[in-house]
Structure 1
Amino acid sequence: MSAVLDAVGRRRSHSKVTAQAPTHEELLPLVSIAARVADHGALRPWRLIEVRGDARLRLGEALVEAAGLTGTEAAKLAAKPLRAELLIAIVVSRRESDSVAAWEQDAVAAGVGHMLSLLLTDQGWGVMWRTGPLTRSEPVRRVQRLRESEELLGWLYVGGVPIDCRPGVRQTINPSDYLSEL
């Protein structure tokens, strides 16, 4: 089996990670490689935002504001971005184009996010792509400083893989159920 097939086959979501996280400098070559996804028109309609430290607290506050919660429920929601030391926001940053539809640009941004999650996993990091009903709320848009042409696709929660980790089990599929001929 090739190294690529092996790496992809080992990918699992890690809902719990340790406090270790890759540095900005460690992320740069991975982002460069993730940028190799198919990109019709070479528009690069995406960007990534590192969310670390107190920025995670501000994101939690934005989630609470968007949900309109108070008390214990607000505190639980505000703590969600603290589950990892590093969150990477995946943003589709649509470009004006006569030949590349918005959905294609969304697909490119999602491809970059998925590719980055595979690369991080291959480097030994635990990763989970998280979204939710508040992902595209106005308070979250504001705290992430999104432009009018941008939409948040979610966050990669990144950290070390716990020693006692039991990552989620992905059921195998029958590929014939999903691959057909015309």
Structure 2
Amino acid sequence: MDVMTAVLTRRSEHQLVEPAPSDAEFAYLLRAAATAPDHGRLRPWRWILVRGDARTALGRCFADDYDGPQPRRAHVQTKPQRAPLLATLVFTPQHATIPEWEQLAATSTMAGSLILLLHARGFGSVWRTGPFTQSQTTRHTLGLRPEERLLGWLYIGTPHHTRTPRRRTPDDITDHITVFTPELLTL
């Protein structure tokens, strides 16, 4: 699949089943995604792969930390079961001369590239965040260090449906573009 097709046919997939990429295939795709622009080549991120019984443990963590109505606790506990692989993105800003916002932008660009690479390989994904990214219980369960930030989970698997992805028609965004010309400067 060419890049333009990947960009125009990718969708967030909410029903994901096996197979998901193996650890080796995930690492292979991540090596390519990690070539995204990254000022200083800091790679201020890491991934924690959660699959199998580890999803159940993460679900218990979510339920233990849930402070909403009791009947929803069971629903919250099953959230990690929505996909065979939850790739947990952890932002690890480096103490460098590169501003933290640039490091976060590099991390986001890498994640976007990974999503497109997964789609081009036939996998589906959906980005999930929410209150558990701020949870101390979740941070402890996943082994995050104090300086790290949990950005969210990329739920990954094979789309449950077998339909051909519909190509999007890009919106007209010309009103978001300005061409700089020095003659427009007012002093």
Same fold flag (TM > 0.5): yes
**Is 2:4 the partner of 1:9?**
no
> What secondary structure sits across from 2:151 in the alignment?
strand
Distance 1:170 1:139 in 2: 40
Does the 8 Å contact 1:131/1:154 carry over to 2? yes
Q: Give, in angstroms, the shift of residue 139 of structure 1.
A: 1.2
- 1:151 corresponds in structure 2 to 149
Question: Which one of 121, 124, 133 corresponds to residue 123 of structure 1?
Answer: 121
- 1:114 corresponds in structure 2 to 112
- 2:27 corresponds in structure 1 to 28
- Cα offsets for 1:34-79 (capped at 9, x unmatched): 1001111111101111111121112112222332246421100010
Decide whether aligned partners of structure 1 residues 179 and 74 sit closer, same or farther in structure 2, where only a CA change above 3 A counts: same
> What secondary structure sits across from 2:15 in the alignment?
coil
Q: Give, in angstroms, the shift of residue 171 of structure 1.
A: 7.2
What are structure 1's unaligned runs of at least 5 residues?
Answer: none
> What secondary structure sits across from 2:161 in the alignment?
coil
Does the 8 Å contact 2:8/2:167 carry over to 1? no
Q: CA RMSD in A?
A: 2.1
What are structure 2's unaligned runs of at least 5 residues?
Answer: 181-187
Identity %: 38
Partner amino acid for 1:153?
Answer: L
Aligned residue pairs: how many? 180
Distance 1:170 1:133 in 2: 31
Distance 1:153 1:179 in 2: 30
Distance 1:67 1:96 in 2: 33
Decide whether aligned partners of structure 1 residues 57 and 177 sit closer, same or farther in structure 2, where only a CA change above 3 A counts: farther
Runs of 4+ in 1 over 6 A off after TM superposition: 166-171
With the length of structure 1 as denominator, give the TM-score of the two structures.
0.89
Decide whether aligned partners of structure 1 residues 169 and 129 sit closer, same or farther in structure 2, where only a CA change above 3 A counts: farther
With the length of structure 2 as denominator, give the TM-score of the two structures.
0.87
Decide whether aligned partners of structure 1 residues 61 and 179 sit closer, same or farther in structure 2, where only a CA change above 3 A counts: farther
> What secondary structure sits across from 1:114 in the alignment?
helix
Question: Which one of 124, 136, 139 corresponds to residue 138 of structure 1?
Answer: 136
Q: Give, in angstroms, the shift of residue 93 of structure 1.
A: 0.8
- 1:55 corresponds in structure 2 to 54
- Cα offsets for 1:83-106 (capped at 9, x unmatched): 001010111111111x21111111
Larger radius of gyration: 2
Question: Which one of 101, 104, 109 corresponds to residue 103 of structure 1?
Answer: 101
